[in-house]
Amino acid sequence: MAAEAGPPGRARVSATAASLTESVIREMTRLALQHNAINLAQGFPDFPAPEEVKRAAVAAIEADLNQYPITWGQLSIREALAEKYRHHYGMTIDPERDVCVTCGATEAMIGAMVGCVDPGQEVIIFEPFYENYGAAAAIAGASPRYVTLREPGWSFDEAELAAAFGNRTRAIVLNTPGNPTGKVFTREELAVIARLCEKHGVLAITDEIYEHIVYDGARHIPMATVPGMEDRTITISALSKSYSVTGWRVGWAIAPPDLTDAIRRVHDFVTVGAPTPFQEAGAVALRLPDSYYRQLAAGYLERRDLMLGVLAAAGLRPATAPAGAYYIMTDASVLGLGDDTATARALTRKVGVAAVPGSSFYARAGPGRSKIRFSYSKKLATLREAGRRLAQLTADPM
Ligand code: GLN
């Protein structure tokens, strides 16, 4: 096909698209498939979703709930969300005015940015970060401003954070429990962030998708429940991680009515709606008993501990064990396989275990170069097999 459609020299793609780099996480998935490697790169479970949730999706399809949903979400799931947030966090949500159901947390984040941030404004993002946040800011035409979380503990320096807030700051993105660090923000840390948000009239856009995956007595505290933040927080989460259905693409944003209205406007024209039968199944999932979440967290604790052992046997000792979510960021320079990208590629090709290069979670080149991220949202048997493969590294240095 001819490459030239317009006047010579005129770019055929937008500056926004050109600024987006390919997702390194999904690139590593492709490499894993190519080399038949165990995919500990992209975080998605290889075990089944709960039976009753799967049955609810099948039932919804058989009941012919196969047409467009209500744009901002089927009533059933919005009501289930209101019940769940009241039950778990004591939050009061109006299902008619405070909820927009989206195609995954990914769309909710982009909808929140495009809906609530103007081009040229700034969005504060903690690094290391999940790579989608910078892209969401870019799509909104906003500029990301990074504040670094440091080990051990992955906390922030209060003065550095305060200095990031300015006249142009519109929002701060908060991911707790966090990807890729496993950081669970404490009430004290949230209070510091909240004070700055209030002082500068800034919104918090939170990604709480790992809300039910916490360990060692850590508690997930939604930013919206921190005093002063109820009216300035957009709470984002999804079915994906809590019910092991990352391919269903059902997420949501919960926010005060004016912000919800803005997100709904964007959502309406971008996707019209999230898949109807999966929303109906979501209403069933969201009503699972407390025991379900205890089992989910206990299952992930077992996987975390197994994975920490597997890594230790390969000579990898993360400075901070994850307190939540299902990722481990660890220094990998001891392996002697080169920088993060070379290490992640060598592990995928030669050892048969895929991981993500640490630099894809940082804006600055330095700190990620020695790190790689493993996801352990896999069956114990899969993690044990990964352990057998990684053991080659100590047995037979490459
Ligand atoms: N959140 C998952 C991860 O960080 C999946 C990313 C994706 O591909 N959407 O690995």
For residue 211, the domain's CATH number is 3.40.640.10
Q: What percent of the chain has pLDDT over 70?
A: 97
User: Which of 151, 223, 211 lies closest to 177, judged by CA?
Assistant: 211
Given 3-state DSSP classes, what are the helix, strand and coil percentages for the chain, each rounded to the nearest 5?
A: 45, 15, 40
Mean pLDDT value across residues 294-310:
98
Are 261 and 201 within one domain?
A: yes
Sequence-distant (≥ 6) Cβ neighbours of residue 166 within 8 angstroms: 122, 200
Mean pLDDT value across residues 5-14:
76
Are 74 and 106 within one domain?
A: yes
In a domain, 10, yes or no: no
User: Which of 119, 122, 112, 114 lies closest to 168, judged by CA?
Assistant: 122
Verify whether ligand 1 is closer than 6 Å to residue 42 (CB atom).
Answer: yes
Instruction: Let me know: does 355 contact 369? Beta carbons within 8 Å.
Output: no
DSSP 8-class letter at 365? S
Are 171 and 275 within one domain?
A: yes
User: From the CA of 106, how far away is ligand 1's center (Å)?
Assistant: 10
pLDDT at 92 over 80: yes
Q: Which of 285, 318, 334 is the last residue of a domain?
A: 285
Are 222 and 131 within one domain?
A: yes
Q: Which of 250, 285, 320 is the last residue of a domain?
A: 285
Verify whether ligand 1 is closer than 6 Å to residue 26 (CB atom).
Answer: yes
For a mutational test of ligand 1's pocket, the pick from 107, 129, 133, 179, i.e. the residue with the most ligand atoms closer than 8 A to its C-beta, is 179
With b meaning 16 or more CB within 10 Å and e meaning fewer, what string describes 210-232?
Answer: bbbbbbeebebbbbbbbeebeeb
In a domain, 7, yes or no: no
Are 325 and 250 within one domain?
A: no
User: From the CA of 81, how far away is ligand 1's center (Å)?
Assistant: 23
Are 370 and 279 within one domain?
A: no
What's the CA gap between 244 and 126, in Å, rounded? 26
DSSP 8-class letter at 349? I
Q: Which domain holds residue 346?
A: 15-42+291-395
User: From the CA of 64, how far away is ligand 1's center (Å)?
Assistant: 31
Note the pLDDT of residue 393.
Answer: 85
Place of tokens 């950081």: 183
Q: Count the Cβ atoms, other than its own, within 10 Å of residue 384.
A: 14
Q: Please give the tally of structural domains in the chain.
A: 2
pLDDT at 3 over 60: no
In a domain, 373, yes or no: yes
pLDDT at 265 over 80: yes
Positive or negative, the CA dihedral 104, 175, 51, 83 is: negative
pLDDT at 201 over 50: yes
Per-residue confidence band for 2, with pLDDT thresholds at 50, 70 and 90: very low
What's the CA gap between 119 and 138, in Å, rounded? 9
In a domain, 1, yes or no: no
Is the pTM value of this prediction over 0.85?
A: yes
In a domain, 90, yes or no: yes
Are 251 and 353 within one domain?
A: no
User: Which of 106, 99, 55, 59 lies closest to 77, judged by CA?
Assistant: 99
Are 186 and 331 within one domain?
A: no
User: Which CATH number goes with the domain that contains 367?
Assistant: 3.90.1150.10
Instruction: Let me know: does 328 contact 12? Beta carbons within 8 Å.
Output: no
Residues in the chain: 398
pLDDT at 170 over 80: yes
Q: Which of 285, 305, 326 is the last residue of a domain?
A: 285
Are 130 and 30 within one domain?
A: no
In a domain, 22, yes or no: yes
In a domain, 258, yes or no: yes
DSSP 8-class letter at 49? P
Note the pLDDT of residue 397.
Answer: 54
pLDDT at 50 over 70: yes
What's the CA gap between 155 and 319, in Å, rounded? 13
CA-131 nearest atom, ligand 1: 4
Verify whether ligand 1 is closer than 6 Å to residue 356 (CB atom).
Answer: no
Are 301 and 281 within one domain?
A: no
Verify whether ligand 1 is closer than 6 Å to residue 130 (CB atom).
Answer: yes
Are 30 and 93 within one domain?
A: no
Are 156 and 266 within one domain?
A: yes
